[in-house]
Amino acid sequence: MRVVFYSQGEDMQQWQAALARHMPDIRLEAWEAAPAGADYAIAWKPPALLFQQQPDLKAMFALGAGVDALIAHCPATLPLIRLEDSGMATQMADYATRMILDWFYRDADYRQQQKQAKWLPYALDDKQQWPIGILGLGQLGSVVAQRCQSLGFPVHGWRNSPEAIPGMTTHWGGAGLQEMLPHCKVLINLLPLTPQTSNLINRDVLDRLPKGAFLINMARGAQVVDEDLLAALDRGQLAGAALDVFRQEPLPATHPFWSHPAIRVTPHVAGITPLHDAAEQIANKLQAFDAGKPVSGLVDRERGY
């Protein structure tokens, strides 16, 4: 079995060692130097040239849960298999709740007061007045929802298809989204990027949130209209935003997000792929696929995830 590897900035030898724990005979080859005839590819955001040089691939294994950056180059007939959670959901739940609790307990205000040697306690809000709305209730969104519930916040969830989830107010479809938004003190985006979700978080969506709401985006930058978000913050419709993903990454140094006082910018770290957990999952999927067995995480090209 020949496997080519590509992930800019990643140490292929570390992946080789991690995968070898589960597949002792596996050998990774750097795609640039690998001759044609490889059986599989393990990659993240590979160039189109990889698929041109390796026309005999049986499947492509993605080093992430989101595959929008892969679909454009990956041949439509080639099975594309994504990671499923692999520890990222817990990290994303941590990220979301860090931001929510920071806003809820007004930590930024207290940090600013410390700089001014100012003593001013604030009254404590009621968590029941801070409903959390989650866009996307898949493997990642459901874990984030459960974490928010465990902290005592009411949770609303939105998905495309009707499916009730115990303990949560669920909404679905276009009408359900419009119904949910006015209830959300914090809106968390965990949707996959598809033609339907591109530019979804625009002025119309932001204006339907209660005044003074907050936004957390851990999905894809292209789902938020930057200009609409900045305008909503500047006129007080939104009180703050935590952004981990952007239309262009790295975020250009001149982008206004960096300097806006109500925006927290992080460099796409809300859900980092854990090497050993991801390697075990990929190895299991690769062995199952090679043996002709069913494999979870197979991307549906029509849905885009």
Nearest to 229 by CA among 246, 206, 213: 206
Q: Count other C-beta atoms under 10 Å from residue 126's C-beta.
A: 8
Residues sharing a CB contact under 8 Å with residue 263, sequence separation 6 or more, in sequence order: 233, 240, 241, 242, 243, 257
**Calpha distance 50→145 (Å, rounded):** 38
Distance separating alpha carbons of residues 229 and 199, to the nearest angstrom:
11
Q: How far apart are CA 161 and CA 300, in angstroms?
A: 16
Q: Which residues are annotated as catalytic?
A: 220, 268
